[in-house]
A and B are shown apart, each in its own frame.
Chain A
């Protein structure tokens, strides 16, 4: 189970990002535990200043703006991307 946290104080972009992550992971059969973090002190403790931020297994994957689906999928191929030829 991959821990995913969406950091943001409840703006529309944060909601959209949550939804996108849910969609992408369920479409690709990736099991995640999605959590929303609205507490400002906690958000700042990760060094994030632009919301929405996304934390995947404790690492910052994204900060500011809405990520696209391909980018989201990229976070979960941590053991690199065999399908992508020009990678690594």
Chain B
């Protein structure tokens, strides 16, 4: 459906030659843009409906008092389905600490939340197919699980700012919430408006870059990155990805172009994950609650886990 729309618009209406570089790029751009926006609106709406049932306050009380293994699994799954605006990570962190949830579990949550989100999954399904989308989600879960576990070994409690331990969480009474379906619909609709309003530029930019590379990706780059036996390709792409920051959305079209040009799957996944999982703004915000040693450790462990995931996928594919 989206492909024929793009074909019609680019080749028939604008009558650009099918085999030209410009035609190829443009058709690809139109096709992806329409497809992605359609899916984004649909999925964000459905997730918004779902999210009107699950709040972090509820998450906290679910996890509280569970065994460490169960708590971690739940924290990661809930982190995956509930993306939080990064300005919420401080109250979230304090809330978890206050509930006596182990720090390692909190870190698992903090890793899973930005890395796995419905927008990334939509873009992946729409652009590179559901198989890689599933692989991406699974490896995200693994990185969050293992990363949090390793961080715990370093006893990160000593790096938590003192005031955090002193905060007592209370519970104010709640206004009787409007739980009607209509209210949930309005919530979901507001989510769509807010999220699409915020990310549309990035989607267009990302798809635009992807389309550009689709027509113009330099062959030499691709071949140097695409050699599976090139052991260094994964760490190289992760080291490029870590300082880059995008909310997993902008980078996916680029990933598609990389895959199309034969860059190995593990290398591509690792690149995407490193961009999504670690972001400077989030680190700066978390600095309010933990010292830089813990943040450096967090960054290092996540980076290394992602590199291993990349190698793993390169080996099995």
A residues sitting closer than 8 Å to B (CB atoms) are 8-14, 40-41, 43-51, 55-56, 58-61, 63-68, 70-71, 74-75, 78
Q: Which of B172-180, B238-246, B265-273, B299-307 contacts A (4 or more CB under 8 A)?
A: B172-180
B168 CB–A CB distance under 8 Å: yes
Measured between alpha carbons, how far is A9 from B93 in the docked complex, in Å? 14
Nearest to A11 among chain B residues (CB) is: B87
* CB-defined contacts of B189 to chain A, threshold 8 Å: 68
* CB-defined contacts of B87 to chain A, threshold 8 Å: 8-14, 51
Inter-chain contact A44/B175, CB cutoff 8 Å: no
Q: A11-B85, A68-B186 are in contact. Are A51 and B91 (CB under 8 A)?
A: yes
* CB-defined contacts of A8 to chain B, threshold 8 Å: 87
Please name 16 further chain A to chain B contacts, defined as beta carbons within 8 Å, in addition to the given A9-B288, A13-B85, sorted by A numbering: A9-B91, A40-B288, A44-B98, A44-B169, A48-B91, A48-B172, A49-B60, A49-B88, A50-B57, A50-B91, A51-B85, A60-B175, A61-B174, A61-B175, A67-B190, A75-B175
Top 7 nearest A-B pairs (CB, nearest first) are A11-B87, A47-B171, A46-B172, A49-B95, A45-B170, A49-B56, A60-B174
**CB-defined interface of B258-280 with A at 8 Å, one 1/0 digit per residue?**
00000000000000000000000
* CB-defined contacts of A63 to chain B, threshold 8 Å: 55, 57
* CB-defined contacts of B169 to chain A, threshold 8 Å: 44-45, 47
Q: A11-B87, A59-B175 are in contact. Are A50 and B92 (CB under 8 A)?
A: yes
* CB-defined contacts of A11 to chain B, threshold 8 Å: 85, 87
22 inter-chain pairs at a CB distance below 8 angstroms, sorted by A residue, are A12-B87, A40-B94, A45-B168, A45-B172, A46-B170, A48-B91, A48-B172, A49-B55, A49-B56, A49-B57, A50-B56, A51-B87, A51-B91, A58-B172, A59-B172, A59-B174, A60-B172, A64-B56, A66-B190, A68-B190, A71-B187, A74-B178
Chain B contact-residue range equals 20 to 34
**CB-defined interface of B55-84 with A at 8 Å, one 1/0 digit per residue?**
111001000000000000000000000001
* CB-defined contacts of B194 to chain A, threshold 8 Å: 65-66
- Chain B, range 123-172, C-beta contacts under 8 Å to A: 163, 166-172
Task: Give the residue among B88, B163, B169, B189 with the most A Cβ atoms within 10 A.
Answer: B88
B284 CB–A CB distance under 8 Å: no
Inter-chain contact B94/A47, CB cutoff 8 Å: no
Measured between alpha carbons, how far is A10 from B191 in the docked complex, in Å? 20
Inter-chain contact A44/B173, CB cutoff 8 Å: no
* CB-defined contacts of B288 to chain A, threshold 8 Å: 9, 40
Measured between alpha carbons, how far is A47 from B170 in the docked complex, in Å? 5
Inter-chain contact B178/A55, CB cutoff 8 Å: no
Picked from A41, A60, A64, the residue with its CB within 8 Å of the CB of B167 is A41
Nearest to A10 among chain B residues (CB) is: B87
Q: A9-B87, A65-B190, A70-B186 are in contact. Are A47 and B172 (CB under 8 A)?
A: yes
Nearest to A5 among chain B residues (CB) is: B172
Picked from B90, B173, B191, the residue with its CB within 8 Å of the CB of A59 is B173
